Amino acid sequence: MPLADVGPSLKLISVSNIESGTAPMTRPVRFPSIRVSAAIMAALLLAAPLPVLAQDNALPAATVRVDPVIEQPMDATVPAVARIVTSTGGGIAAQINGPVDEVKAQVGDIVHKGDILATLDQDRLRFTVELAEAEVATAAADLATARAEKQQADLAFARLTGLRNSAAFSQARYEDAQTEVLRTQSEITAAAARLQRAEANLELARLDLDRSSVRAPYDGVITQRQAEPGSYVTSGMPIVSMLNLDRLELEADVPYDRLGGLKTGAEVTARFDNGETGTLSVRAVIPQENPLTRTRAVRFAIVAGPPVEQLAVNASAAIDIPLNADGVAITVHKDGIIKQPNGATAFIVIPTDDGGYQAALREVVIGDSIGNRFVVRSGLAVGDRVVVRGNERLQPGQRLSLPDQG
């Protein structure tokens, strides 16, 4: 093919002409064009061999260190703040209406069950009792009279019944006697009912008189006086407030994910404000959760601690909450956990068919921290060997080298 048809020309100086000193002569010389059609380039690209992506098993073996997943004693605790509460306490109310005559209890007094704390005016109540007693006596007399009349009616009816076969028998008098028997029997029934009602009214009057003395329902200490002599109170109105020091407890708001170690009867350690320590026992976990704080109230009974005289309701105490009620936990070394935005993962070592090892990726749910280890909630089992060094760039399925680790 002629060169003129190939591409642009360049003028070249002949070497022989330069050596001979003659005037330089030029002739056109053409080189192939560097412009290549898009079709030719595409063909070249398709024909060229593509780079082969490295497969996991084609990667060089990674030298790593491993640490086993173990089961270990779970004696770790987390601190929490509790407050002292009482299971029995509050206002001691009047049970009847009336003016207050005397308040015997003073704030701070230690009282015992049955002690009189206050009295209401009793004069009217005593008269009410006397009136009820008189009504009972009247009703009892009416009943006795009705019974006597019934006895007389029975005798008269019996005499007339004996004359039925004689000339002196009167049918009219016989029927009158029979009616009288029925009347007196009804009178007895009515008199008995009146007596029963009078006796009930007497008991109510005596009960009101007894309730005019406001008594301590349990042992405790007086914390407040809410009525004074001369004031008028109605039923249900508190006169004093008191606390039962024998029923003091501690209450703590515990996060829902810390409740695993707080089974009923489990014992925990407490440190009170006065510096003394004590032992508490879980009495109840209240099945109601605060939706804002995700906590639940836990009540602790005081097994051993400072004297109740040194404790105060609403005072705080520090308690140690166990992380696991079973006393053991499955743990993994912290260096084996790879934190991800959507959770945590870990590489474990699995054997291959040729006697070697390769990496397998596992999703892991971790819990609390115990020293340099995490509690495993799911994803790993006891005995799994977890990569703790060299896991930063490890790929799933990559061959592993475990020097001096078997």
User: pLDDT by residue (tens digit) across 285-323?
Assistant: 888 888 888 888 999 988 887 877 778 888 888 888 876
**What's the token pair of residue 116?**
């009189």
Q: Give Cα 261 distance to the centre of its chain.
A: 13
CA 336 to CA 386: how far, in whole Å?
6
CB 70 within 8 A of CB 336: no
Handedness of CA 264, 266, 271, 276 (dihedral sign): positive
Question: Residue 331 carries which DSSP code?
Answer: E
pLDDT of residue 26: 43
pLDDT of residue 58: 65
Closest alpha carbon to 298 in 330, 327, 325: 325
Closest alpha carbon to 302 in 310, 291, 294: 310
Instruction: Using the structure block, give the residue that is written with the tokens 């330089």.
Output: 24
pLDDT of residue 29: 43
Nearest-Å Rg of the Cα atoms of the chain is: 52
pLDDT of residue 307: 78
CA 321 to CA 297: how far, in whole Å?
13
pTM: 0.52
CA 69 to CA 376: how far, in whole Å?
9
CA 324 to CA 160: how far, in whole Å?
95
pLDDT of residue 406: 56
pLDDT of residue 321: 81
pLDDT of residue 324: 64
pLDDT of residue 67: 93
CA 160 to CA 145: how far, in whole Å?
23
Residue positions counted in the chain: 406
CA 289 to CA 244: how far, in whole Å?
27
Query: Tens digit of pLDDT for each residue in 336-378?
Result: 999 888 889 999 999 998 888 999 999 999 887 777 888 888 9
CA 157 to CA 331: how far, in whole Å?
101
Segments of the chain scoring below 70 in pLDDT: 1-58, 74-76, 323-327, 405-406
pLDDT of residue 164: 80
